[in-house]
Structure 1
Amino acid sequence: MNGAVEATNKNLKKILRKMIDNRIGWHEMLSYALLGYRTTVRTSVGATPYLLVYRIEAIIPAEVEIPSLRIIQEAELNDVEWVRKRIDQLTLIDEKRMVAVCHGQLYRQRMIHAFHKKVRARIFEIGQLVLKRIFPHRDEYKGKFAPNWQGPYMVRKVLSGGALVLSVMDSTEWPKSINSDAVKRYYV
């Protein structure tokens, strides 16, 4: 859920950057940015967030000023026809949500397929020599001009899910297991 909030915030910031020239007055444009975000079709579900929450498409202020076909059609209905139309819309909402769920699942499958096309299997065996990546937030990081890899280390155990247990060349095991993405083969 936290990732969805971060993605929404990132998209809102992009919209606001396009709407204002400087950082002053962004709060005045926030309601317009939110309206634009909520009424734009999301690729992942094939629907707008507004439709999924409120069960009907949003009517933007421009459609009220200059009536669209949808507004004209609803304005010419009498009360009985309007109620019948709303009931029909409510019965179709489950179908619309189901279509959005299916669309989301297909989108997820396409993303997984695209990811797996670029990922290559990294298979390590016990006894192989590897170098370990030095991450910037770790204690062994010495600055941007320092090396990015340290080692060599020897693979002591290959765990499930791509984790490895390493040891220093004198057979002292590294205290924690490490993801195989953070190591590379070392050739002598």
Structure 2
Amino acid sequence: MRLNLDLLEGEREKAIFQVAFYQQRLKSYYNERAKIRQFQPGDLMLRKAYITAQRQGSKKMKPNWEGPYVISRSGGKGCYMFDTIEGKEISRQWNAYHLQRYYP
């Protein structure tokens, strides 16, 4: 019985090591391919339209992007505040994942 408990502890340590090794490989794989989106104040942006639209009706014929908007400041960790072209501030912060650069 004591031998089985000792073997169990060794198997548990081996499993923990394998999980840590696997997570390290996944992290490096992701970091090699991740594209970091960083924008500067003054950049022109489009934002995803379906986030602000109401959930009723069909979305097939609606535009996918709204804008353009001007980034006014960064909120940290990929969040941005922006203004309309006319200068009216939009009160909500937007994540970089929902933004796309606008090229006039």
Question: 2:91 matched to 1:178?
Answer: no
Opposite residue 99 of structure 2, the aligned amino acid is V
The one of 17, 41, 53 equivalent to 1:139 is 53
Which residue does 1:53 correspond to in 2?
none
Which residue does 1:124 correspond to in 2?
39
Q: Is the 8 A contact 1:155 1:164 kept in 2?
A: yes
The one of 145, 151, 157 equivalent to 2:67 is 151
1:145: Cα distance to partner?
2.2
Structure richer in strand, relative to its length: 2
Structure 1, residues 114-147: CA drift from partner, whole Å, max 9, x if none? 1122211212000000000123x64356612211
1:87: Cα distance to partner?
1.7
CA-atom RMSD, angstroms?
Answer: 1.8
Distance 1:118 1:93 in 2: 38
- 3-state SS, counterpart of residue 151 of structure 1: strand
Q: Which runs of 5+ in 1 are unaligned?
A: 1-85
The 5 A counterparts of 1:5-20 are: none
Q: Is the 8 A contact 1:134 1:140 kept in 2?
A: no
Structure richer in helix, relative to its length: 1
TM-score (norm 1): 0.49
Q: Which runs of 5+ in 2 are unaligned?
A: none
The one of 162, 166, 172 equivalent to 2:82 is 166
Q: Which structure's CA Rg is the greater one?
A: 1
TM-score (norm 2): 0.84
- 3-state SS, counterpart of residue 97 of structure 1: helix
- 3-state SS, counterpart of residue 81 of structure 2: strand
Opposite residue 28 of structure 2, the aligned amino acid is H
Q: Of the two structures, which has the highest relative contact order with CA contacts closer than 8 Å and spacing of 6 or more?
A: 2
Distance 2:53 2:40 in 1: 28
Distance 1:114 1:129 in 2: 32
Structure 1, residues 53-103: CA drift from partner, whole Å, max 9, x if none? xxxxxxxxxxxxxxxxxxxxxxxxxxxxxxxxx321211222222221221
1:109: Cα distance to partner?
1.4
